Amino acid sequence: MKVLVVGGGPGGLFFGILLRRARPDVAVHVVEQNPEGASYGWGIGLTDSALDALRPSAPDVVDDLAADIDVTDQMEVGLDGETLRVTASAFSRTGRIQLLATLQRWARAEGVTFAFAQRLEDSAELAGWDLVVGADGVNSRVRDIYADVFKPEISFGNNWFAWYGTSRLFTAPSIIVLRRPEGVAVSHASQYTADRSNFVVELTPRVFRSGGFEHLDEEESRRRCEAMFAGSLEGHPLYTNKSLWFQPKFVRCTGSWSHENVTLLGDALHTVHPSLGSGTRFAMRDAAYLVEALAAAGWDVPRGLRGYEESRRGTAEAFQRAAVRSIGWYEGLQSRPPRDLTTMTLEYIMRTGRVRYEEFRRNNPEMMRAYEELR
């Protein structure tokens, strides 16, 4: 059996590792358009519950991903320079480059082969494999080739994002909201190595347009964001790594999840949203479901792919509904700017409906007392 994985992101790599472990006799080949060691972006967060969900599939690999990264259950929410620290989900942080390097090392150790700097373009390249897995991200070429089967619904968020790094160490993951005369600006920041934090800037359309950001190059945008968030950055610079403005693409495949021996996973199949901080886990969980479904079908590929869809689709759609609620909260900041820090913090924590109110209340008695006094 020969398997082609298009895309060497977290989903494709984890799939390769799990498949080779389950079937060491199967050849798994990953085609990745980027050169080895190249990656966009900075740090990513993985909640403890994400790692717990992934761990049973490959405990050694998942422990390795979490090995040298800081875990915290503290988070900070800021509004115009005032901050509130709360106890929330426990979070590990790592660099996207480190995460990919670790997964590549494990994949190589399992015998997965790689072709870097090779972009899959032509549908003819999908012939001759027993199974093709499109793990090629949000702009998936495999999804495009079989668009009539996968039937993707694609929309774009209204807010604009740019992904920076900084040397200011946000030891607790932070959401920083600034009310400006022209609208609301947000940053999502968290430390992920000894000397770096992630700093994702999110601008509502009015702030983006009135600041003329669409006409600025990467360096000028960086300078302007640095100035806008100077109070939180405390004199530290922002750094770029392909930090171009984008509106997140929201992908949902409404058709079948497979065509004969071809399927999709991760962002290629369904995105969540940067604000939910769960896309990496989501893609890696898809990989685990796919391998389990293939095994349960006795490695009959079309049957296994149907089993993958049957077992995964419901959870995936529920997760996407949480993402839509999260997007709505951030986008709603334009028309209903936050009134006060305490209320905004609670609304933020509860925005997806996935955090239990009573549990949050128990862990944050002081903040909740302050909130109830405001009512």
Question: Which of 199, 360 has the CB closer to ligand FAD?
Answer: 199
| Side-chain-facing half-sphere of 209: CA atoms under 13 Å | 8
When the beta carbons of 251 and 293 are compared against ligand FAD, the nearer one is: 251
Binds ligand FAD (CB under 6 A): choice among 17, 19, 45, 341: 45
Give SS3 for 351: coil
- 110-114 long-range contacts (CB < 8 A, ≥24 apart) are 110/16, 110/17, 110/20, 110/21, 110/24, 111/20, 111/24, 111/28, 112/13, 112/16, 112/17, 112/20, 112/28, 112/29, 112/30, 113/27, 113/28, 113/29, 113/30, 114/8, 114/29, 114/30, 114/32, 114/36
Q: According to CB under 6 A, which residues from 191 to 230 bind ligand FAD?
A: 200
Applying CB under 6 A, among 4, 5, 44, 103 the residue interacting with ligand FAD is: 44
Q: Where are the beta strands (DSSP E) in 125-235?
A: 131-134, 152-156, 160-166, 174-180, 183-193, 196-203
> Within 10 Å of residue 273's Cβ, how many Cβ atoms?
22
One-letter amino acid identity for 281?
R
Radius of gyration of the chain (CA): 21
Q: Is 78 in the site for ligand FAD (CB under 6 A)?
A: no
Rule CB under 6 A: choose which of 3, 5, 11, 253 binds ligand FAD.
11
Is residue 89 involved in binding ligand FAD (CB under 6 A)? no
Site map (CB under 6 A) of ligand FAD, residues 232-271, x = contact: ----------------------------------xxx---
Judge contact between 164 and 243, C-beta under 8 A.
Answer: yes
Q: How many residues can be counted in the chain?
A: 375
Using CB under 6 A as the binding rule, whether residue 280 contacts ligand FAD is answered as yes
Which residue carries 């600041």 as its tokens? 211
Q: Which of 5, 10, 222, 307 binds ligand FAD (CB under 6 A)?
A: 10
Applying CB under 6 A, among 5, 19, 31, 178 the residue interacting with ligand FAD is 31
**Residue 152 interacts with ligand FAD (CB under 6 A): yes or no:** no
Q: How far is the CB of 369 from ligand FAD (least distance, A)?
A: 31
- Compute the half-sphere exposure of residue 354: CA atoms within 13 Å on the CB side of its CA: 17
> CB 362 → ligand FAD: shortest distance, Å?
26
CB 247 within 8 A of CB 154: no
33 binds ligand FAD (CB under 6 A): yes
Please identify, using beta-carbon distances, which residue of 270 and 367 lies nearer to ligand FAD.
270
Does 120 engage in binding with ligand FAD (CB under 6 A)?
yes
End-to-end CA distance of the chain: 63
Q: In this chain, which of 166, 278, 326, 364 binds ligand FAD, going by CB under 6 A?
A: 278
Q: Quick count: other Cβ atoms within 10 Å of Cβ 150?
A: 26
Beta carbons within 10 angstroms of residue 365's beta carbon: 9
Q: Which is nearer to ligand FAD, 243 or 364 (CB)?
A: 243
Contact 95, 193 (CB under 8 A): yes
Choose, by CB under 6 A, the member of 157, 279, 304, 338 that binds ligand FAD: 279
To ligand FAD, the closest distance from the beta carbon of 33 in angstroms equals 4
Return the residue of 20, 281, 312, 351 that touches ligand FAD, per CB under 6 A: 281
We find the least distance from the C-beta atom of residue 365 to ligand FAD, in angstroms, to be: 28
Closest distance to ligand FAD from the beta carbon of 312 (Å): 14
Binding site for ligand FAD (CB under 6 A): 6-12, 31-34, 41, 44-46, 119-120, 135-137, 141, 161, 163, 200, 266-268, 274, 277-281, 283
